[in-house]
């Protein structure tokens, strides 16, 4: 509890951390209550009060963010699309961090052949270009939210693993680890009871960074046309605007989802920057 309180206090003392957390919480609330906030069905064509087809309407009282070429409400698409962005961001961030942390802990603690095998595996993953890998895997398995998540998780753990390993190599030489061994503690107990609590701040930094990377990757994949065709996402909204050749003609179709992606990605980077003060106490003195 004291550690969590310290993390929260440092996060609240950092201006960018507070802004990032406020943005993230706002989007989480929007995603939870999206069906009640969105005024229209995001995939249903709308009509003006006079009964005419609301095609490419600019922002107005009836349609806050305007409409698309098919008469669909952009505001409703942005609100509902927040769910896909947060699901991909949160799930992939947690999963990739867990994989990276465990790879780093085991590799750094055991060393030898285990360390060599896991680090060579990490090097191989590092050699795979991120976005092309995600696109190819989604294209092979089929465009769906689950396949997009799988592709992102399979490759985004690599940096976390390397950083955590370097931390473990230092920590396992400390006196309190040797004392734990002398007292009869097993390897798993030492790894997860004595070493892991000391690398949690660094793990949180990369969780926040992985959140931003995953959201941006999902938007990129959807924009390129490989997103789940049954779901409404910000990237898909931008893709439809591009396909309709309305990027320059209908700014209201492009700016809202683009701004939403930017804000949510920035929130992750702001939070990770605040957590760096916990992972690296020297930053607090600056």
The whole-angstrom separation of Cα 155 and Cα 172 is 27
The whole-angstrom separation of Cα 100 and Cα 77 is 34
Paired residues of 72 in beta bridges: 45
Over residues 112-127, the mean pLDDT reads 91
For residue 187, what pLDDT is reported?
83
User: The dihedral of CA 59, 60, 63, 64: what is its sign?
Assistant: positive
Over residues 173-194, the mean pLDDT reads 84
Main-chain dihedrals φ then ψ at residue 45, nearest 5 degrees: -70, 140
The whole-angstrom separation of Cα 20 and Cα 22 is 5
Q: What pLDDT, in 10s, does the model give residues 136-168?
A: 888 888 888 888 999 999 999 998 999 999 989
Token pair for residue 218?
């999902």
The whole-angstrom separation of Cα 85 and Cα 49 is 32
DSSP 2-65: HHHHHHHHHHHHSHHHHHHHHHHHHHHHHHHTHHHH-SS-TTSB-B-TTS-B--SPPS-SSSTT
Contact assessment for residue 188 and residue 71, using Cβ atoms and an 8 Å cutoff: no
For residue 186, what pLDDT is reported?
82
Which candidate, 63, 57, 60, places its Cα nearest to that of 78?
63
Q: Cβ of 16: how many Cβ atoms within 10 Å? A: 16
**pLDDT at 34 > cutoff 80:** yes
Per-chain mean pLDDT for the chain: 87
Confidence label for 48 from pLDDT (cuts 50, 70 and 90): confident
**pLDDT at 9 > cutoff 90:** no
Least confident of 33-47, 145-159, 169-183, 267-281: 267-281
Residue bearing tokens 């980077």: 269
Q: What pLDDT, in 10s, does the model give residues 229-275?
A: 888 999 999 999 998 888 888 899 999 999 999 999 999 888 888 77
Diameter of the chain measured on Cα atoms: 82
Q: Check: CATH 1.10.3720 for 2-285?
A: yes
Paired residues of 236 in beta bridges: none
Query: Global pTM?
Result: 0.87
The whole-angstrom separation of Cα 130 and Cα 248 is 29
Token pair for residue 80?
């509902």
């Amino acid at each position: 509890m004291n550690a969590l309180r310290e993390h929260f206090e440092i996060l609240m003392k950092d201006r960018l951390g507070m802004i990032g957390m406020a943005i993230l919480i706002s989007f989480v609330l929007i995603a939870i209550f999206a069906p009640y906030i969105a005024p229209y069905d995001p995939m249903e064509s709308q009509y003006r009060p006079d009964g005419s087809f609301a095609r490419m309407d600019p922002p107005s009282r009836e349609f806050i963010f305007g409409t698309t070429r098919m008469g669909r409400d952009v505001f409703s698409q942005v609100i509902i699309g927040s769910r896909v962005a947060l699901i991909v961001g949160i799930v992939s961030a947690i999963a990739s961090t867990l994989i990276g942390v465990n790879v780093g802990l085991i590799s750094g603690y055991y060393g030898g052949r285990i360390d060599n095998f896991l680090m060579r595996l990490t090097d191989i993953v590092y050699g795979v270009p991120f976005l092309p890998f995600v696109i190819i895997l989604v294209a092979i398995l089929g465009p769906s939210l689950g396949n997009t998540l799988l592709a992102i998780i399979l490759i985004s753990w690599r940096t976390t693993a390397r950083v955590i390993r370097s931390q473990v190599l230092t920590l396992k030489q400390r006196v309190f680890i040797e004392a734990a061994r002398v007292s009869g503690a097993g390897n798993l107990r030492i790894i997860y009871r004595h070493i892991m609590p000391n690398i949690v701040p660094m793990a949180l930094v990369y969780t926040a960074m992985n959140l931003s990377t995953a959201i941006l990757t999902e938007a990129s994949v959807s924009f390129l046309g490989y997103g789940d065709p049954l779901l409404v996402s910000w990237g898909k909204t931008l893709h439809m605007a591009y396909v309709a050749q309305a990027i320059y003609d209908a700014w209201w179709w492009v700016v809202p989802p683009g701004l939403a992606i930017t804000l949510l990605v920035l929130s992750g980077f702001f939070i990770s920057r605040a957590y760096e003060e916990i992972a690296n106490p020297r930053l607090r003195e600056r």
